[in-house]
Amino acid sequence: MFQLNENFQKLPGSYLFSTIGKKVNAFTQANPDKKIIRLGIGDVTQPLAPAIIEALHKAVDEMAAAETFHGYAPDLGYEFLRSAIVSAYKERGCDISSDEVFVSDGAKSDSGNIQEIFSVNNRIAVCDPVYPVYVDSNAMAGRTGVYNKETEMWSNVIYMPCTMENDFVPEFPKETPDIIYLCLPNNPTGTTITKEQLSEWVNYANKVGAVIIYDAAYEAYISEDNVAHSIYECEGAKTCAIELKSFSKNAGFTGVRLGYTIVPKELKSGDVSLNAMWARRHGTKFNGAPYIVQRAGEAVFSMEGKAQLKEQVAYYMKNASEIKTGLKDAGYTVFGGVNAPYIWLKTPDGTTSWEFFDYLLENANVVGTPGSGFGPSGEGYFRLTAFGSYENTLAALERIRKL
Amino acid sequence: MFQLNENFQKLPGSYLFSTIGKKVNAFTQANPDKKIIRLGIGDVTQPLAPAIIEALHKAVDEMAAAETFHGYAPDLGYEFLRSAIVSAYKERGCDISSDEVFVSDGAKSDSGNIQEIFSVNNRIAVCDPVYPVYVDSNAMAGRTGVYNKETEMWSNVIYMPCTMENDFVPEFPKETPDIIYLCLPNNPTGTTITKEQLSEWVNYANKVGAVIIYDAAYEAYISEDNVAHSIYECEGAKTCAIELKSFSKNAGFTGVRLGYTIVPKELKSGDVSLNAMWARRHGTKFNGAPYIVQRAGEAVFSMEGKAQLKEQVAYYMKNASEIKTGLKDAGYTVFGGVNAPYIWLKTPDGTTSWEFFDYLLENANVVGTPGSGFGPSGEGYFRLTAFGSYENTLAALERIRKL
């Protein structure tokens, strides 16, 4: 008689965005005349850049003729894309070789799958609040112990609170972790740490023998000079860090699906290379990103692509700046929005995250995301995103200011 | 100190196609004047059908304007594609609902990932020879015991030999499996079983409490009436079977990447629904297939798409028929090629699979795949595929006939 993976039954319900959806629907039905503005979801809204559209059309045409048709892609991704990625790293002073780059269908898949190459006995450390995939994918593998509904914490996960009290900089945990997840610039808080602070994490990981899973999905939004765009800018990172990269937020690929992961060849446990293990995993359980999508990815690194995407990122960051300034002027305590497209605000007067959600929905008809949905230390915070249109962003702020 | 997933170290090297590549390269270097014909790899060569190209261009244009841009896709896939899939099942008399369809980036990912929802204590049964992903993905999860290099078998896997002695029809194993992998029509043998024989497997699985992972990737190549196109044509399958479907071989999507998996809501273990578990896995560790690719998938089910793809399948099956007839005329014992694009031939005069590979390469300059690469019961067999061009197929046969 077959049996199921019992770890799935330990997972708490995934209610955050469904609860938001239900509340918004109920409000809309009761108030059909009110126009809702959504600044809650981390999904882009601007169209793909012209250079990317052109690359896509061209690749589609190639698929229409036998001479230029492309079947199965190379396991690790096409060389044209991997070498463009390698060049981009080189520009940042990072020496990554083409066989350390693994092209995938997106950073969410990679961040969920990367734990497979580690022992089920390893202990993970995550920031709190946190992107839920890191924890849930480890929970499914049986690495997180038991979930406590009261504390909203797993018994075998090390939580590193990131709050205004520590300037959202995670501290080295008391217990030694085996795997450390760092998303910087951070989702959901929109904050980040300096290159020097990141270097301390690299040194710590090398010292205690931990591996860092470094999620750099928001790297393109960094505006400050003292922030690293890649963990490999820090000396020693190649012996302790795997870096996850996305095209979703820098190039608007949330619906195009493309990402890549760097697994340095220096990263080893004894004689065993993690690069070889991830190559085996990639080759066995994945069959490459679409040819046309990899060509679109290549266009992201072209002269035109880069120029167009710089403008797109600037568009969203203008929104971020408007939200930050607008909320400050309205008396809110606000974080993030400088090196990331997320604004993280302290809910006023001791209201809970959900109370503030209801307040904003009912009085300003603006939808955001309750910070407590990302973990217990997110309680008392609230996330707004810069991914809306400029017009909607201004309109939402106008409403909030009038509250 | 982090530790690695030790199960990866138990995997034997994946040498089949790399050994083939090395042998072919060596031969080419020694004989630069000889023109090699490759009939070894299961990759398509014909361009995408016009209806699919048109859908792709249209979808790319939609991504170029904010009003029609598509960001994150719904977890399970777009409704337009899932309802097209549901209609196709209805035409075969199968009642599948839209929330039982999970759109993915391809059947290889699904066939590698589906084992995640099962207990690590479950025991799998596979046909021998077999598509390596079923076994390797379970090996990585720690479900297969120890690998024996001599026998080329895992200690905790139930092997069901499929040879000419049993007409390539797997027999119910002596030991009871928990998970049964069936790929029908079969890769690599190109053979299949009747709907009545498949119904016996469904009854067996329901009786012993096993789940069938049914890989129907080659369904479009079925030409005989008494063969089921879906396991759900068999009564009782919804309580015991998950079906994996691919667009790779019926629509030439090996480089486009699209697939789907059916997990019926009736499929349960106690109160726990496998459909809900797969939905959770899908939502946590995957972020949808690209919008443009899902539109291409929709075009596969359109009137034009269906007509064009019928021709494409007929093109490959004409190759299959030529290979089968040609080899028979040349005195070979040949199987498959009627309901699948693979020809499985008995190597002559007791030669091993690899000996025949060398013989064919050196004397006919034709590349095929040694049957032993798919498992011990593949020894003494050899696979040729119908996915080459018609001209190359005929030329290869002419050479083999002259041997």
Write the pLDDT tens digit of every residue in B208-260: 999 999 999 999 999 999 999 999 999 999 999 999 999 999 999 999 999 99
Q: pLDDT-based confidence at A18, cuts 50/70/90?
A: confident
**How far is residue B212's CA from residue B226's CA, in Å, rounded to a whole number?**
20
Residue A103 tokens, joined:
């092209």
CB contact residues (below 8 A), chain A span 311-370, against chain B: none
- Centre a 10 Å sphere on the Cβ of residue A45 and count the other Cβ atoms it contains: 18
**B68, pLDDT greater than 90:** yes
Q: B169-206: buried (b, 16+ CB within 10 Å) or exposed (e) per residue?
A: bbeebeeebbbbbbbbbbbbbbbbbebebbbebbebbb
Neighboring chain A residues of B2 at a CB cutoff of 8 Å: 118-119, 122, 178-179, 209-211, 269
Neighboring chain B residues of A288 at a CB cutoff of 8 Å: 255, 257
Q: pLDDT-based confidence at A41, cuts 50/70/90?
A: confident
Q: How would DSSP label each residue in B350-390?
A: G--HHHHHHHHHHHH-EE-EEGGGG-GGGTTEEEEES-S-H
pLDDT tens for B319-378 read: 999 999 999 999 999 999 999 999 999 999 999 999 999 999 999 999 999 999 999 999
**How far is residue A268's CA from residue A261's CA, in Å, rounded to a whole number?**
16
Neighboring chain B residues of A9 at a CB cutoff of 8 Å: 272
**How far is residue B403's CA from residue B401's CA, in Å, rounded to a whole number?**
6
Q: Which CATH number fits domain B52-303: 3.40.50.2020, 3.40.640.10, 3.30.565.10, 3.90.1170.50?
A: 3.40.640.10
> Residue A341's pLDDT is what?
98
Q: pLDDT-based confidence at B182, cuts 50/70/90?
A: very high
Average pLDDT for residues A234-246, to the nearest whole number? Answer: 98
**How far is residue A361's CA from residue A358's CA, in Å, rounded to a whole number?**
5
CA distance A37 to chain B (A): 16
Identify the closest residue of chain B to A77 by CA–CA distance.
B255
**How far is residue A320's CA from residue A384's CA, in Å, rounded to a whole number?**
9
A78, A258 contact by CB (below 8 A):
no
C-beta atoms of A4 and B272 within 8 A: yes
Selected residue of B43, B257, B300, B315 to mutate for chain A interface (largest A Cβ count, 10 A): B257
Q: pLDDT-based confidence at B131, cuts 50/70/90?
A: very high
**A16, pLDDT greater than 90:** no
Question: Which residues are registered as beta bridge partners of B346?
Answer: B333, B381
Selected residue of B68, B285, B389, B391 to mutate for chain A interface (largest A Cβ count, 10 A): B285
CATH of region A15-46+305-401: 3.90.1150.10
CB contact residues (below 8 A), chain A span 45-64, against chain B: 45-48, 50, 53, 56-57, 60-61, 63-64
Average pLDDT for residues A319-332, to the nearest whole number? Answer: 97
Q: What is the interface size between A and B, counted as CB pairs within 8 Å?
A: 239
Average pLDDT across chain B, whole number: 97
Q: Which CATH number fits domain B14-47+306-401: 3.90.1150.10, 3.40.50.2000, 2.60.40.10, 3.40.50.10490?
A: 3.90.1150.10
C-beta atoms of B290 and A290 within 8 A: yes
**B14, pLDDT greater than 80:** no
The gap between the terminal CA atoms of chain B, to the nearest Å, is: 60
Neighboring chain A residues of B56 at a CB cutoff of 8 Å: 60, 63, 292
CA distance B350 to chain A (A): 32
**How far is residue A384's CA from residue A368's CA, in Å, rounded to a whole number?**
5
Question: Domain spans of chain A?
Answer: 15-46+305-401, 52-301
> Residue B109's pLDDT is what?
98
Average pLDDT across chain A, whole number: 97
Of B2, B71, B257, the CB nearest to A45: B71
At B139, the amino acid letter reads A
CATH of region A52-301: 3.40.640.10
Q: A373-386: buried (b, 16+ CB within 10 Å) or exposed (e) per residue?
A: bbbebbbbbbbbbb
**Among residues of chain B, what percentage have pLDDT more than 70?**
100
Backbone torsions φ then ψ of B213, nearest 5 degrees: -95, 110
Q: Tokens 């990737």 correspond to what residue? A: B217
Cβ-based burial of B300 (10 A; exposed 0-12, middle 13-18, buried ≥19) = buried
H or E element, residue B214: strand B211-215
> Residue B41's pLDDT is what?
81
**B161, pLDDT greater than 80:** yes
Q: Can you tell me the ipTM of this complex?
A: 0.97
> Residue A269's pLDDT is what?
97
- Does the CB of B74 have a partner CB in chain A at under 8 Å? no
